[in-house]
Chain A
Amino acid sequence: MPDLVTPQPGLGGNGDGPVLEVSGLRKEFGDLVAVDSVSFTVLQARSLAIVGESGSGKTTIARMIVGLERPTAGRITSCGRDRSSPARSARERRRRGSEVQIVFQDPYTSLDPRQTAEATIDEVLRLHHGWPKERRRARIDELAGLVGLDERQVRALPRALSGGQRQRVAIARALAAEPRLLILDESVAALDVSIQAQVLNLLADIRDSTAVSYVLISHDLAVVRQLTDDAIVLHRGVVVERGPTPRVLDSPEHEYTKRLRASVPRPGWKPRRGALLGAREDSGTP
């Protein structure tokens, strides 16, 4: 019985090279430069955090990596294959889908409300593999077990599931494609503290057992610390700091990183006015 859980490097290109390479990435929306000269690399089984607040460009970068947005300039390569512009054919999108997957932030809109968890995962399996029903069933059970969903939950519609359960379904769906890299776009931000802890542990378990790499996009520095090896800090579309996560969080060098760090509530923390230097008093993005 083949080990179904470990992804097969097979078609994904060079198994030793970086899982994701981004260089000189730039995105303009009319006059607005959302992302400018962003570069980073994610190695196999390593995880990278993209830290930033709203307007930093972090979600735009994620969308460009998965092909939902076209970069204005720059190169994106995953598993040795170029993906600098959105795929042209469904077949190409499918192939790229088996390299990089994404889990979105909002559990309430990231699942088709009319599909059970089972059907959702099954659809992905049918897209990527030509397996008979039995094998797909077995894999669904396996994935459900991996993300901690029981029988009832797997057969349930999203509206019968809590936010944490829906995120598990979203993670299972992403993993069904057996990606080398999973982008987590604020995937735990909308969850209660106790559930967030469970899902973070789950993500750690998955990483350990499947050697998948993560790109964790988050504004929450504590979450970033838990799950990532390296971090880049984005401010208004530009990388202002990068390095190993513990170093960036413990000894930030850039002003913005320091300010971010100082803004995180923790025992004994007191908020201070004037912390927002150069505050965005202008109109625009919330």
Chain B
Amino acid sequence: MSAVQAGAGRAEATVRSGEPLLEVEGLTVRLQVEGAQRSVLRDVSISVSPGEAVGLVGESGSGKSMTARAIDRLLPHGAEVSGEIRFGGADVMALSGAALRGFRNQVAMIFQDPRAHVNPVRRIGDFMTEALRTNLDVPAAEANRRAADMLGQVGIMDGERRLRQYPHELSGGMLQRVMIAAALLTEPKLLLADEPTTALDVTTQAEVMAILDDLRREFGLAMLFITHDLELAAAICDRTAVMYAGQIVEVRESALLHDDPLHPYTAALSAARPDIAQTAARLAAIPGRPLSAFEAPDSECAFAPRCPHAKDICRAENPELISLDGGLSRCARAIELRGHLLAGPAEDGQTDA
């Protein structure tokens, strides 16, 4: 599939079949916090092919949001970035001016809290059509028509009326659907969704997820879906990457992640979640608390202190990502633990958080 479009001052992604749309390699990010340089991402590598949905799962401090921000050039001022981010072959970090705007048309981002990312004193229509009118020179009437259509696609029926409304007149779920519609209007190639449903009710979440999934497939978009919920990612992503302490620790086909994880952290995460179908006397809680990238030592496996399978080799050095059965795992003992990660009695929740 190749997509080449000429346009005044726009840099478009040129992708030949088989090549990844987004390639992140060795991304390391350090932020300046209170005078000290703190690591927030360590050697993160991930790729997304055209039309593929990849999930990025992690807890606090894992670096999942930071990864999306790095990709979308939204890092705070003064961030130290090393490694490469390539979109359609072009180096994202080197983009500026018109090329950067072109990039932003092709990579759309949806945030967790829609209200924080919308100007409350402007109408929905203004907000939705801004990119079309300013960056793509689409006349206002046409832009409004497209916006109303897209609202219909996300399940908001009376589009024209909605376009004239203000954000406060819409509920959280509706506003998030508007955000999705707005993101799709510029016909992007890649969607970055940063916890888009975390702030929503569970029934609204199901609906929004369904819309996201449907439309993504319909438009052939690639997506990087960030969440803390392993099952949620597995529901609409083909592949899922798990992050811990600023690193990717596992990449796996979503369907296999729950039943056949390759990294002890993934297994522990699945096991720690309460089961809606049965009551356990106690949950299999992971002792300790999730480490942030800057707290993790580079000299050993970041998860070792909390890992029930940790051995000396795990504390000797920070393991590399190894390829295993179609997936990747950053566990020094991945091969020998294969198949045994889900076994074992539920441990009593130890307290150290």
Contact = CB atoms under 8 A, between A and B. Distances in A.
Interface of A: 53-54, 147-148, 162-165, 168, 192-198, 200-202, 204, 219-223, 225-226, 245-246, 249-250, 259-267, 269-273, 275-276, 279-286
Contacts of B283: 197, 200-201, 226
Contacts of A148: 351-353
B37 to A, nearest CB: 21
B207 A267 contact: no
B279 A246 contact: yes
When A and B form their complex, which 7 residue pairs have the shortest distance between CB atoms, in order from nearest? Answer: A148-B351, A201-B349, A286-B172, A197-B285, A53-B201, A263-B206, A164-B353
Interface-central residue, B276, B289, B348, B353, by most chain A CB under 10 Å? B353
Contacts of A279: 155, 207
Contacts of A245: 279
Given A200-B283, A266-B276, A219 B232 contact: no
Interface in B268-298: 268-269, 272-287, 289-290
A283 B289 contact: no
B186 interface: no
B43 interface: no
Contacts of A271: 206-207, 209-210, 213, 235-236
Given A263-B203, A269-B235, 20 more contacts: A53-B201, A148-B352, A163-B60, A164-B353, A192-B59, A194-B269, A194-B290, A197-B273, A197-B284, A201-B285, A204-B281, A219-B201, A225-B278, A246-B279, A261-B276, A263-B206, A267-B258, A267-B259, A275-B210, A286-B171
Contacts of B202: 53, 219-221, 260, 263-264
Contacts of A168: 351, 353
A71 B54 CA distance: 48
A281 B171 CA distance: 8
B205 interface: yes
B274 A281 contact: no
Given A194-B286, A271-B235, A225 B351 contact: no
B156 A281 contact: yes
13 contacts: A53-B201, A147-B351, A163-B60, A165-B353, A194-B285, A198-B285, A198-B353, A200-B285, A204-B282, A263-B206, A270-B236, A273-B210, A279-B155
Given A194-B268, A194-B289, A276 B203 contact: yes
A260 B349 contact: no
A269 B273 CA distance: 15
B156 A225 contact: no
A274 B262 CA distance: 36
Given A263-B203, A265-B229, A281-B174, A198 B156 contact: no
A272 B348 contact: no
Given A267-B259, A271-B207, A273-B214, A194 B276 contact: no
A193 B271 CA distance: 10
B303 to A, nearest CB: 11
A45 B204 CA distance: 34
Nearest to B202: A263
Nearest to A285: B171
B157 interface: yes
Contact of A275 (B206, B277, B284): B206
B350 interface: yes
Nearest to B349: A201
B131 interface: no
B162 to A, nearest CB: 9
A30 B172 CA distance: 23
B115 interface: yes
Contacts of B231: 265-267, 269
B121 to A, nearest CB: 17
Given A202-B351, A267-B231, A276 B285 contact: no
Nearest to A280: B171
Contacts of B210: 271-273, 275
Nearest to B227: A265
Contact of A164 (B259, B272, B289): B289
B219 to A, nearest CB: 16
A57 to B, nearest CB: 14
A278 to B, nearest CB: 11
A204 B282 CA distance: 8
Contacts of B171: 280, 282-286
B276 A222 contact: yes
Contact of B349 (A198, A263, A275): A198
Interface string B281-319: 111111101100000000000000000000000000000
A193 B228 contact: yes
A249 B155 CA distance: 29
B234 interface: yes
Interface-central residue, B172, B213, B282, B283, by most chain A CB under 10 Å? B283
